[in-house]
Amino acid sequence: MTSPKTRIAALYKFVPLQDALSYQLPLKRLCVEHGVAGTLILAPEGINGTIGGPPDGVERVLNYIRNLPGMASIEVKESWATEMPFFRMKVHHKPEIVTMGIPAANPLERVGQYVEPEDWNRLIADPEVVIIDTRNHYESRIGTFEGATLPDTESFRDFPAWVQENESVLKKAKKIAMFCTGGIRCERATAHMLNEGYDEVYHLHGGILRYLETVHESESKWTGDCFVFDQRVSVSHGLKEGDWDICFACREPIDEQHKSGPGFELGVSCPLCVNKTSDEQKAGYRERHKQQQLARARDEQHIGVNPRENKRSFK
């Protein structure tokens, strides 16, 4: 069995960062110099992202970030992977580190009450609590908490509209408990809920990732895997790499059942999208997959290929 060798660090912090743009280039250079890849977003409201690479390289980058104004106490959620889950290093400067489209939902002003992972089960067992999965449909499809309400959104920007459409039901709840992958979307979502007049709003501190790391599987109220935005695709309890893959046509997570089902063609389509793409699009996907295979034969990395294809056989 291959031992994990790549250190993964997911991080975010809302803090005023007025000189955010000035850190973009130095941060990217540092990452590239030490073999670190992934995505980081800098904004006047803070930092957000996930990086991976050699343990020492990741530590150097984290030390740099901790020395930025207000970042000394930044919380980092760590895991390990057997393969590098990122192709390149991207450092973006944007107006916000997570976008919902509601400027008034400002986590720097107020957020919901944090609930630690070890206290989460007790909260969601309360019959007066409505549990809301703030993630998108393709994320919650492969795993969520027992009893959670799934907004089934396409993007985080759709969340405010879902809240408005379901106001009559949500307003009857005495408590709202919200969760997301790493915690950052709930910072914005709980701020929005408070602005909308919901009084008791809670969110899982550190998100699903911290829960899966902290709470033993025998006591867990989580079912399935947690979708992650890198080439691991998903993680399970203990933050172990999951068994899901990605369809390169529709970018939906797929499992062995999908890969053995009608319409699956490696690199081209899956049962979820085979009837949603044209013959012209499928031809383009086939050509892309061909180039990926040729690159692999030359022992080269083709941008866009899933490294997990190297260790898995598809039906």
226 counts as catalytic:
no
Query: What is the arithmetic mean of pLDDT over 87-105?
Result: 96
- Alpha-carbon torsion angle 154, 156, 160, 162, nearest 10: 30
Query: What is the arithmetic mean of pLDDT over 294-307?
Result: 62
pLDDT at 179 over 80: yes
pLDDT at residue 2 in the model: 53
pLDDT at residue 126 in the model: 96
pLDDT at 51 over 90: yes
181 DSSP assignment: S
Tell me how far apart the 2 most distant CA atoms of the chain are, in Å. 61
- Which of the four pLDDT bands, split at 50, 70 and 90, describes residue 299? low
pLDDT at residue 307 in the model: 44
How many CB atoms lie under 10 A from the CB of residue 12?
Answer: 24
The 3-state DSSP composition of the chain as helix, strand, coil percent (nearest 5) reads 35, 25, 45
Please identify which of the residues 31, 180, 186, 247 carries the catalytic annotation. 180
Q: Which of 14, 18, 9 is nearest to 71 (CA)?
A: 14
- DSSP string of 228-297, one letter each residue: -SSTT-EE-GGG-B-S-EE-TTT--EE-HHHHTSTT-BTTTB-TTTTTTS-HHHHHHHHHHHHHHHHHHH
How many CB atoms lie under 10 A from the CB of residue 234?
Answer: 21
Domains and CATH numbers, the chain: 6-93 (3.30.70.100), 113-226 (3.40.250.10), 247-310 (no CATH)
- DSSP string of 68-120, one letter each residue: STT-TT-EEEEEEESS---SSEEEEE-S-SS--S-TT--TTT---EEE-HHHH
pLDDT at residue 1 in the model: 46
Which residues are within 8 A (CB) of 204 and not within 5 positions of it... i.e. 6 or more apart? 115, 117, 120, 177, 178, 179, 180, 183, 186, 210, 211
- Which of the four pLDDT bands, split at 50, 70 and 90, describes residue 289? confident
Strands 46-53 vs 6-14: parallel, antiparallel or unpaired: antiparallel
Query: What is the arithmetic mean of pLDDT over 194-221?
Result: 97
Instruction: Compute the distance between CA of residue 206 and CA of residue 76 in angstroms, rounded to an integer.
Output: 9
